[in-house]
Amino acid sequence: MMAGADPTERAPGYDTHVRRPPGSVSRFDGALPLTAVLVRHGVTPMTETGAYSGSDVPGPALSTRGRAQAAQAADAVFRIGRDKRGLWPDVPRPTAVIASPMVRTQETASAVGRRLGLPVTVEDQFAECRFGDWEGLTAAQIEAAWPGELDLWHSTGTFVPPRGESYAQVGSRVWDGMQALVDGGVGRTVVVVGHAAQIRTAVGQAMGAPASHWSRIRVPPASLSVLRLWADGAGEITTVGFPTD
């Protein structure tokens, strides 16, 4: 059990007879989870051209459409935990916003933070995959220069691009970041603004899927994915790729 967490703590007004949302984990002890709202950034010029955009460089920034998507994502996050008219009214309202260090995620997180009235902190563990020599290239360009290797990266979860990272390597640091959030306290909701591959690794690990399956998880731009993680290691995938655009 993680230090500082009490899995027997009950939520205010907790009632074991209250109907839970479909698919929710049954916790008859009333233990509280950490709720993590994983927001993918809005589109950039590289997103729109299908280029691989990782964490080897800070940019690019959001495009005009991406900024509009960020505002829509912020509006959706604002509705979380707000009675029956909101989204997922059974979880606490967000009290913290974290962003990966990339420009596009910080711009998206700024929109979320303004809407919630919360500051944004930056956490390197939630950075996107490093694509190394593939940075800025389309799938066709990668295939032409490194035949078959992009498929290996997606399908094995352990293949490392030249000077880059495998899905498994990304997942290791991302999960360390998720566990740090749980250690920081349950019974709260934290917004983490990140990237497609980075979010896939968190969702995949929460459901116990091997790294070879993570690329199958669809995470559209400006979408929300919601995980609930307990101090004893239990987890729930509440939603994946919820569209806000």
Chain segment 170-207, per-residue pLDDT in tens: 999 999 999 999 999 999 999 999 999 999 999 999 99
Chain segment 108-126, per-residue pLDDT in tens: 999 999 999 999 999 999 9
Residue 27 lies in a domain: no
Residue 99 lies in a domain: yes
Number of domains in the chain: 1
Range of the domain at 168: 35-242
Spatial CB neighbours of 224, under 8 Å, sequence gap ≥ 6: 37, 38, 39, 73, 76, 77, 87, 239, 241, 242, 244
Residue 80 lies in a domain: yes
d(Cα 176, Cα 148) in Å, to the nearest integer? 31
Cα 85-86-89 angle, rounded to 5 deg? 105
Residue 21 lies in a domain: no
Residue 52 lies in a domain: yes
Residue 15 lies in a domain: no
CATH number at residue 116: 3.40.50.1240
Q: Return the pLDDT at 85.
A: 78
% of the chain at pLDDT higher than 70: 89
Residue 14 lies in a domain: no
Residue 234 lies in a domain: yes
